[in-house]
């Protein structure tokens, strides 16, 4: 199970990096966000996922459940506003390594630990948060591809 999650995380990020090849950071992905902004947002969620998994394993409710995600996303974009696109790409790889290190060092049986926390109808476990991270990358791969195709 753990190796499958690691493989899926790597595959999703590889596709994300691949879809950005040849694109510029100022490519509009949404009315509000450029490609650089979207990648900045993803970096933030890598770090948030690490923190949330650590909290979950301590029996705590993940911090971001009680926050306004639009505000949280905008904060991550603003943190990296002055960075170059290349620096954002480097941090995207670094933040992913932090997430992979967490998973690699986690005993497999802890991936499915459930401490009673739910988000909407979902039971929150490290595994469910990692699956959300995988799905999140693939969601943005699709959006970036759509924007690139409309150039």
Residue 29: pLDDT band with limits 50, 70, 90: very high
What are the chain's domains? Answer: 2-149 (1.20.120.450)
Residue 120: pLDDT band with limits 50, 70, 90: confident
Half-sphere exposure of 119 (CA within 13 A, CB side): 15
pLDDT on residue 52:
96
Q: In the 8-state DSSP scheme, what is residue 46?
A: H
* Arithmetic mean of pLDDT, 67-88: 95
19 vs 122, residue with greater confidence: 19
**Pair 34, 151: CB distance under 8 Å:** no
Chain CA centroid to CA 22, Å: 22
pLDDT on residue 130:
98
pLDDT on residue 64:
86
pLDDT on residue 122:
86
> Which secondary structure element, helix H or strand E, spans residue 117, and what is its range?
none
Alpha-carbon distance 6 to 100, whole Å? 7
Q: In this structure, what token pair is assigned to residue 108?
A: 């497999």
Chain CA centroid to CA 76, Å: 12
């Amino acid at each position: 199970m753990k190796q499958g999650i690691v493989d899926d995380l790597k595959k999703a990020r590889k596709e994300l990096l691949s879809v950005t090849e040849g694109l510029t950071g100022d490519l509009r992905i949404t009315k509000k966000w450029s490609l650089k902004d979207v990648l900045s947002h993803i970096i933030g969620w890598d770090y948030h996922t690490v923190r949330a998994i650590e909290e979950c394993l301590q029996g705590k409710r993940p911090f971001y459940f009680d926050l306004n995600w639009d505000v949280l996303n905008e904060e991550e974009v603003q943190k990296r506003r002055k960075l170059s696109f290349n620096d954002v790409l480097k941090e995207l790889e670094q933040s992913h390594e932090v997430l992979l290190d967490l998973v690699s060092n986690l005993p497999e049986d802890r991936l499915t630990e459930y401490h009673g926390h739910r988000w909407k109808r979902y039971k929150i476990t490290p595994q469910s948060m990692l699956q959300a991270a995988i799905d999140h990358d693939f969601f943005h791969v699709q959006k970036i591809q759509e924007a690139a195709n409309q150039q």
